[in-house]
Structure 1
Amino acid sequence: MTTKSTEGSSSRSRSEVMRAVRSKDTTPEIIVRRLAHRMGFRYSLHCKDLPGNPDLVFVSRRKIIFVNGCFWHGHDCARGARQPKDNAEYWRAKISRNVKRDSENLRALQEAGWQVMTVWECETPKRKRDALENKIKSFLT
């Protein structure tokens, strides 16, 4: 049985964990950056003057790569399909807003003449790196 003090402590520790989640320089993003750099592609990071502050911007190619967390951006993989047990309605609404904003940013970038690719967190484990490298190379060449 959970006591009130345990719930408060759990809620506080969950808040600390959620605050620690970064939007820049995440492990999946660094993996994508290293792959692109190793293949000889140079890029700018987090361009604030473009919709959605894209993670990697290949200005001369007019191409952009977003590196999205599956949970936060509502990906249809196992990790993205997880449903939080606590405060579930809040998280459903939050993720839904993220998906809507992502769609709006994608449309604005494409209308401005950019080609956009999304790399999902679930595509970055070591066992999938060859496929990810091929995906990036194919997109950028």
Structure 2
Amino acid sequence: MNLKHLSVLSLVFAISGCATPGPYAEVTGERLIGSDPNEVPVRIIGVNGKLDISGSSSVRIDPGSNLLLVQTTRRAIRRPSPDAMLPLNAKGCMRYHVVAVHESSVTVEPWSLEIKKVEPIDECLSKYPQGLGPKQ
């Protein structure tokens, strides 16, 4: 499999995170400007039991109860750092900024996850006022 195929697969996985039409939520693992040096970006490697080999830093998910599998981007010298689970009850049309918080700026472990910022997604809200989908 070449790089072109992997890129296409990554795009398919990223798009397929949100399974139903209607409002969505986003989770991004990108570091915010002005963050603490102990905070680093994360990769989202799974959503609700479905693995995503691309390790994207941002995914779309359905509103409601979700379980994300997350990795810190800080590398351990001798072994990979453990993954972490993030349960998230996502609201429609909201973006969640998640970071890995390490105990120090030089060590990988221990670390934890923190939701640093929650903000509305204007494009979603323009289609779905108050983050609500069409009535069934």
| Alignment TM class, shorter chain as reference | under 0.3
Q: Larger Rg: 1 or 2?
A: 1
The structure where strand makes up a greater share of residues is 2
TM-score, normalized by length of structure 1? 0.26
TM-score, normalized by length of structure 2? 0.26
Report 1 or 2 for greater relative contact order, CA contacts < 8 Å, sequence distance ≥ 6.
2
The structure where helix makes up a greater share of residues is 1
